[in-house]
Amino acid sequence: IDSEDGLRKKCHCFHQQELDILYEQSHIRDMIASENFSNLSYEYYQGDDLTHFRKCVDVCRNFVQNFKQDYHNLFFYGTVGTGKSFLSGCIASELLQTGHSVIYFSASGLFDTLARYAFDSRAKEALSGFYEDLYNCDLLIIDDLGTEVPNTFVNSQLFEIINMRNNRSLATLISTNLSMRELSDRYTERIMSRIIGDFKVF
């Protein structure tokens, strides 16, 4: 398509198809087919859980509605089955429909891919391209943080991703089944400082 500076560039949907192929993310299409706001239901919640979930839904809707002009990151934590991944899918679905690039990874898949490229001397170009897209996509979703094998490589990579995207004012959404205490036991103080300081935590 023609850009504002008179040059031609890839349209959003072409770029998103590249991302889907490069990272074998075709499953994101299947995910958002069922995980979207039109399929959202409150019937699984009651009491305080219902109150918390309603608040998170409102946050997600506002996040999407104000995505272009209001930069911030989201961090969802809670036990299994509370709707964290579902709401991530809702956000991904809405943003893809409005022309934004979204990369979705489980934490284990993300760090496994990074390790595979980083420790293969023949994959320098692939690693460079991978970082480029992780750092520059409109929204990066890291689902199920804490399911990856913990080590210094994971800690350094997670901090670098959060830091680089924050420096560029590009949104990141992270979800985890771990409690805040479990997170602080598992990840470095620098990472926890970023999460507490740079993310809206729910």
β-strand 199-201 against 171-176: which pairing, if any? Answer: unpaired
Q: Are 92 and 25 in contact (CB under 8 A)?
A: no
89 token code pair: 């899918």
Tokens 């949104």 identify what position?
Answer: 171
- Model confidence over 24-36: pLDDT tens digits? 665 677 777 788 8
- Model confidence over 22-81: pLDDT tens digits? 666 656 777 777 888 988 999 989 999 899 999 999 999 999 999 999 999 999 999 888
Q: What is the pTM of this model?
A: 0.88
- Mark out the alpha helices in the chain (DSSP H runs): 12-22, 27-34, 47-65, 84-97, 107-118, 124-136, 152-167, 180-186, 189-198
